[in-house]
Chain A
Amino acid sequence: MISMYPGFVRHDARRVTHKGQESTLNIMAVVIVVSVVFLYVFYITESGKVGSSKIFADQKKYKYSEIVLSNIYYVTPDSSGNTLSEIIGISEEFGDPSRGYEYASMYSVVQPKVHLKQYFDRTLQDYHYYFFIENGGKKTLEINLLEDADSQIMSHMIEVPLPVSGHTVFAYLYVW
């Protein structure tokens, strides 16, 4: 039988060999596909792992800096009884730009930048910050510089009224 149909046997043997290679390749393909899917899922879950501490720290930083900026409406840095926002307003209208917007009050010379820096240094001890006033497209009373930061920068802006003209300037605070 075999000797009568040698070609058939050879052909069958080749077919068996081909089948074996095919099934090995199939399993390998499955393994590769599963591995890729697994690695992808693993990567997605690991990269999406944001701890509650991180979420909370970011929320806290945002709210903290927002309150610090808003408090300039209330905090009185010197004996004059003027709030920081009032000092900003007076300095923007009457301050000397060549001397850091300082102005003379009843008892002394008020240096707004000194008061603002002292306030922000004390309240934002754990963060980096950059503060400035925007008055008609011009930056004034700049404190610190916006450096390259690895972490997320959060920005806040509030309006500060000028006492005489009734116009407003904008106080910006960047925190990271």
Chain B
Amino acid sequence: MFRKRTAQVNIFTQPLMLIILISIFAIFVVKTVQMNVYISKEVDAYKFKSAADILFEQALRCVSDNTTKYPYLVSAYNLEREALRFSAKSPPCIRDESYGWNAVVRDISSGADSSVGKSWTFGEPEGSDGTAKRKEFSITMPVAIKYGDGTVNPGDLTMNLKDGDLEYIVGHIESVYRVGIDTGKDMSASLSMRFDYPVILEESSKGKRICIQSEEELSCETLSFSSIEFQPISAGMHYVLIKYDSRKKMVVVSG
């Protein structure tokens, strides 16, 4: 009788224990994989956010007041100049070929309402939208704005950063052009990617722009140069070849 009960206990408990053991092991493996995915995503996000920090410092250097070495004292004169010249494209003093960005500086001396105070914007105002946009991030830091009459008002600088299909392709084109100009040699780069919307070249009063035509709107980024031949790219998977011709000093993009 006693032997029979023991045997029954073994028959039921041992497989049950085994199942529990396997389940725990499976959960452990799944959690470890999830953790690795989480870490890689976080590293990516941190890298992106750090880029905003670097761009913020570059933007400050562009507009800071030259009378002091303190970087957070910016000159209203320099702000006017940058906002006027680079309202739709990146100023040459700020270089980032990986992401699209724009900076907004506002004077907050008149209070919390941003519509009351003066503000200046420079850099790319648009960028990827809809499914073409992968991620975006903003960072705001305080600055002191020095006017011509010596008055210094409190303000802040917001750096808006975007990453998407448009920023990716424009970044590659700018990079090939810059390296080609710097070295004076033929250069080429290729990228294989899937476009959700057609990519076209457009001419505007501010220069040549690469645009993504989504259902709702046309999102564009202005190039820092105008010598480009661009073959329109339709939606879908494409192998894009970007070449710099050193004789013509021109970039040719074919998709």
**Which residues of A come within 8 Å of B, CB atoms?**
13, 16-17, 20-21, 23-24, 27-28, 30-31, 34-35, 38, 41-42, 45, 49, 51-53, 55-56, 60, 63-64, 67-68, 70-71, 73-76, 81, 83, 119, 122-123, 125
- Interface secondary structure of A, over-half rule: helix
Chief secondary structure at chain B's binding surface: helix
Measured CA separation A161–B174 after assembly (Å): 49
Would A76 and B45 count as touching, CB distance under 8 A? no
Q: What's the Cα separation between A31 and B70 when bound, in Å?
A: 62
B78 to chain A, nearest CB (A): 15
Chain A residue at minimum C-beta to C-beta distance from B5: A17
Contact of A63 among B45, B109, B141 (CB under 8 A): B141
CA distance A123 to B108 in the complex (A): 8
Question: Contact between B31 and A45 (Cβ–Cβ < 8 Å)?
Answer: yes
Partner of A71, one of B3, B35, B142: B142
Question: Are A56 and B154 within 8 A (Cβ)?
Answer: no
Asked if residues A31 and B6 are in contact (CB atoms below 8 Å), the reply is no
CB neighbours of B84 from chain A (8 A): none
The CA-CA distance from A30 to B24 in the complex, in Å, is 11
For A79, the closest partner residue in chain B by CB is B151
Q: CA–CA, A42 to B72, complex, Å?
A: 44
Is B31 touching A17 in the complex (CB atoms < 8 A)? no
Alpha-carbon distance A31/B21, docked complex (angstroms): 6
Distance from A167 Cβ to chain B, minimum over Cβ atoms (Å): 23
Contact of B7 among A20, A64, A73 (CB under 8 A): A20
Supply 14 further A-B pairs (C-beta < 8 A) apart from A60-B141, A123-B156. Answer: A17-B2, A27-B13, A34-B21, A38-B28, A41-B28, A42-B28, A51-B45, A52-B45, A52-B46, A56-B46, A64-B142, A75-B154, A81-B150, A119-B154
